[in-house]
Every structure is written in C-alpha cells, then in structure tokens.
Amino acid sequence: MTLVTPIILDCDPGHDDAMAILLAAAHPSIELLGITTVSGNGALEKVSYNAQRVCALANIVVPIAKGAADPIAGKASAAPTIHGVSALDGAQLPEPTFELSELSAVELIAKLVTECDRKVTLIPTGPLTNIAMFLQAYPQLHDRIEHISFMGGSTERGNWTPYAEFNIWADPEAADIVLRSGLPLIMSGLNITHQALATPQVLARISALNTELAHTIVKLLNFFADTYRDVFAMPDPPVHDPVALAIIIDATVAKLVSAPVAVELTGTLTRGATVVDLYGNTGQQANVEVAMELDVEKFWDMMISAIETLGSR
C-alpha cells in the first residue's frame, strides 16, 4: 500500500513556488488538500492571482485561500527584481478557472487539518506569517501537524541581505514563532536549494516533454534565469521551493542534520538571519532537521515527471 501524505502548501508564487504547486499536485504520494497564499514575492493580491493562474495552467482544482497581506511586524515588501512586476513574469498564463475560497488562509488550514483523517504536513514556501498565525490561533491543532517543512533561511549567508534569506527576512517574528513551536520542523535553506539549479540540461529535458505546460514552464524559468544572472551573477537559477516538498515525498533526496536553529530579530545588520548551530556549540537543544545535501538527479527526476504527468492531462 502506498502511503499518501496530506499536505497544505503555503506559498507566494513566484516562479519556484509555481514549481512546488506542480509537484504537489502531480506526485502520487502527495494529497494536496489546499493552497494558501501570503504576501512575499509580490503583494497578496498578485501572488493569490498567480496561484489561481498556475492552477488553471495545469488543471489543478484545490481550494486556494488568501492569507496575510503584511508580516507580523511592519509592512510587506516584494521581490520584483527576481520575479518581475507580476511576481510571475515570463510567460502568458491563463485566467483563473475558479474563485478563491471565502475563508482566510488560517481558517482554511484549520478546517483542512480538522477534517483530515490523518496528520497533515504544512509546506511553507514563502514568509511564515500564515503558519505562525495558525499556530497561535489553534494550539489545539498542533498535534494534528505531522511536519512543517519550510523553504527559508540558510546555514550560510543570505540572499536578501548579506545574512538573511528572503522568506525569513520578510517576517522574522513569524519565523521565530515557528522555530519555537516544538513541532517537527524541516528547513530547506539556501545551502541546499542552491543545489537545485535549473541548468540548460534541465531546461532541455523539460522542453523535450513538448507539451504546452512544459513550454510555459521553460519560459518562466528562462525569465527566472535572467534575473538570477542579473542580480546574483548566478549562471543558473536555483529552484528553491519544491525542495521542501521533495524531502517529504522521498526523505532520501536530501541529507538531514538535527541542529538548534534560531532567528536573529534584533541584529542591526543581521535581522532575519537564521543562526544554525551545526556543531552544537550553543548547548541548545536541536529543534530543526536541517537539509544539507541534495540528490540533484533524484530531485529533477521528480520535478520533471510531475510536469510530464500534468502536461498530459
């Protein structure tokens, strides 16, 4: 019997979030219960619309609920230099085929978790605002959460500031709540997601699928490649977000190390930096399984077969 893991994807699409949506919808060992959106790569309205358009593109029908427009403290900012003005530039996408849920993200997460007959895994691939708000509003549902596998942070340096990665930088207070929750956490930071590169070989494999979906994905990833080249001088763009889900699909896709992880809230130069104690120097208890090394081939096989599956339906 195949074990199917029920998940909720909390995202801010975003090129790599879009890839995570496709993987979640297509993989046979995942049951995508719903999608929730959070302001991050773009304003809440934009990323919610993008989630709807990605679903329309790949014929995915799941509830989508809008979440937080701003972080717990301060105001939202976006990442147009990386994802473009729409937060998902580079290809023409179809208009939404269904309406957003009337529930808020937090309400939808609570409903789906309550109704599911198994524990649910949360996959946040944007700022952690919705997840922190859910954990605070529904302490009685904490024991219904199997894992929180998030993309964010780094064991090394950052991408949005010298020491902070974008998702954690965008809402450090939310990250702090999640990191202190005591729930089983898996962190896919830049140290691993920078191994998930959409190289020319990967793009050629996707193109060779020769479906409308595959061609659209290649256009999106080409846009992403251009901005990564311009902003970070990286020859190939890292497709960060699906890594957090790939680990739930197949734990052997990454090497995990238990470590204490905290987030810097007050540093004058380092706010939003994840402080990962890989050598146990702090004497703190490990609270996170930190993803370190990616099986790159396994990851792309998974991702490309998702695009193949969805493109032929």
Q: How far is the CB of 17 from ligand BDR (least distance, A)?
A: 5
- Please indicate whether residue 240 is annotated as part of the active site: yes
Task: Output the smallest distance, CB 117 to ligand BDR, in A.
Answer: 30
Where does this chain touch Ca ion (CB under 5 A) — which range of 14-22, 86-94, 188-196, 218-226?
Answer: 14-22
Q: Is 126 in the site for Ca ion (CB under 5 A)?
A: yes
Binding site for ligand BDR (CB under 6 A): 14, 16-17, 41, 79, 82, 125-126, 151, 159, 165-167, 240-241
Pairing mode, strands 288-294 and 185-188:
parallel
Query: Which of ligand BDR, Ca ion, none does residue 299 bind (CB under 5 to 8 Å by kind)?
Result: none
Residues between 233 and 252 that touch Ca ion (CB under 5 A):
241
**214 touches which of Ca ion, ligand BDR, none (CB within 5 to 8 A by kind)?**
none
How far is the C-alpha of 144 from the C-alpha of 90, rounded, in Å?
39
Residue 35 contact among Ca ion, ligand BDR, none, beta carbon within 5 to 8 Å by kind: none
Residue 283 CB, nearest distance to ligand BDR (Å)? 29
Of 151 and 263, which CB lies nearer to Ca ion in the complex structure?
151
> Closer CB to Ca ion, residue 17 or residue 89?
17
Q: Does 125 bind Ca ion (CB under 5 A)?
A: yes
HEC per residue, the chain = CCCCEEEEEEECCCHHHHHHHHHHHHCCCEEEEEEEECCCCCCHHHHHHHHHHHHHHCCCCCCEEECCCCCCCCCCCCCHHHHCCCCCCCCCCCCCCCCCCCCCHHHHHHHHHHHCCCCEEEEECCCCHHHHHHHHHCHHHHHHEEEEEEECCCCCCCCCCCCCCHHHHHCHHHHHHHHCCCCCEEEECHHHHCCCECCHHHHHHHHCCCCHHHHHHHHHHHHHHHHHHHHHCCCCCECCCHHHHHHHHCHHHEEEEEECEEECCCCCCCCCCEEECCCCCCCCCCCEEEEEEECHHHHHHHHHHHHHHHHCC
Looking at beta carbons only, is 52 or 209 nearer to ligand BDR? 52
Do residues 224 and 15 make contact, with C-beta atoms less than 8 angstroms apart? yes
Residue 67 binds which one of ligand BDR, Ca ion, none, with CB within 5 to 8 A depending on kind? none
Q: Residue 37 or 181: which CB sits closer to Ca ion?
A: 37
**CB 47, min distance to ligand BDR, A:** 10
Q: State the minimum distance, in angstroms, from the CB of residue 241 to ligand BDR.
A: 5
Catalytic residue among 15, 83, 194, 240: 240
Pick the closer one to ligand BDR by CB: 142 or 229: 229
- Cβ–Cβ < 8 Å for 262, 154: no
CB of 3 to ligand BDR, least distance (A): 27
Q: Is the CB of 19 or the CB of 306 nearer to ligand BDR?
A: 19
Minimal CA–CA distance to 177: which of 119, 145, 131, 125?
131
Which residues lie near Ca ion (CB under 5 A)? 12, 14, 17, 125-126, 241
Residues labelled as active-site residues: 240
